[in-house]
Each structure stands twice: as structure tokens, then as C-alpha cells.
Amino acid sequence: MQTNVNATRMELLSLRRRVALAERGHKLLSQKRDEISRQLIQISRLLGSLRQEVEKELIETSRRFVMAKATMEPENIKSAMEVPTKKFSLAISFAAIMNVKVPKFAKEIDGEIICYGFSTTSGELDIALKGLEKVFDRLLELAEKEKQAQLLAEELQKTRRRVNALEYVVIPELQQIIRFIYDKLAEAERDNISRLMKITEMIRAI
């Protein structure tokens, strides 16, 4: 690589500018890497407690459904759940975290979740459905945060690779070429001085 480089002062100046640019890029990417890491740590802390809460509520809701099933006739359960009256729609928007597009979920719900009469149903079914309705917001929040964490983790990996490439490959190679050119120019300068001294000696000898 070095043997193909023009050992000139113009090339040396150009390479020094490239090193300065690479070092600025390395600094900015390092700051981005650190900020993404900070954001990920915050989301991870929230995810841990949020996932535990959601799992706890879902387990309780499932338990209520099992109890309702045990106290109701199968045909009554089927008819109670056959015609839902609650409508759900999900709107997805995007926000930017360190130039990473992350999703934001917003739900729209109309109607009542209990869509049956009470004569043939169990109170456990009412509690189970209300519990499911309650945990739904937390489920959406959990899905949103997990997707954000996934996208930020992917961006963190890309940023780390770029930082490492600049720090361990690009900048060292450029600095090595600069040293090579500097040594060549210094060698040429010494040769010029040596020739001038010989010419001076020859003139003096005449």
C-alpha cells in the first residue's frame, strides 16, 4: 500500500486532513455509541419490571378464565364470546432516538368488553375479561419498548463496528502512510543537502 503512495507534500497535507476528518468522525460516533448505550440501559431497566407486571397480570387473567370455564357450560362460554362488541385499532407513529426511528403505539378502543347477559355466565368470566382489558395497555407498552430496544441494539452494533474500524484500521493506516511519506521526504531532503554540500565543495576546489 505504501509503495503506491506519492511521497509528496501535497499528498502529506491531504492525508493529514483525512486523519483529522476521521478523528472527528470517531469522536462523534463514540458519543453516539455512548448515548445509545445509555438509552438502552434505561429501557432495559424499565422492561424488566414491566415484563414482570405483565406476566403476573396475564397469569391471574388466565387463572380467572380457567375458573370461569370450570363453572360454566361449554355452550354458554361459546355463546358469551361469540359476538364481540369491543372494537380495537392500533395506530403506529415513529419517533427518533439518536437518529434511529422507533415505533410509538397508540390504541383506539370502542365498546364494552363484556358483551353478554349475566344469567348464564360466571362472575369469574367478567373478572377475567376486565383483567384482560386492564393488562392490554401494559402489553402495548411492553411491545413498544421491546421493539425500541431491538432497534437501538442493532444500531449500537453498527456504530460500534464503525468506531472500531476508524480506531483500529482507518486512522492507524493513514498515520502509517503519513509516517512513510514523512520519512521519504526527510530522506529526499537529506539527499538534497548532501548533493548541495558536494557541489559547494567542488566549487571551492576550483
pLDDT by residue (tens digit) across 38-66? 999 999 988 988 999 999 999 988 888 88
Q: Give the cell for residue 94.
A: 415513529
**Global pTM exceeds 0.75:** no
In terms of residue numbers, what domain contains 76? 2-199
166 belongs to a structural domain? yes
**Residues in the chain, pLDDT under 70:** 1-3, 83-84, 86, 111, 116-120, 206
pLDDT at 119: 65
152 belongs to a structural domain? yes
52 belongs to a structural domain? yes
pLDDT at 118: 67
Q: How many domains are there within the chain?
A: 1
205 belongs to a structural domain? no
70 belongs to a structural domain? yes
Q: State the CATH number of the domain containing residue 98.
A: 1.10.287.3240
204 belongs to a structural domain? no
Q: Give the cell for residue 129.
A: 375479561
59-64 contacts: CB < 8 A, separation 24 or more?
60/131, 61/128, 61/131, 61/132, 61/135, 64/124, 64/125, 64/127, 64/128, 64/131
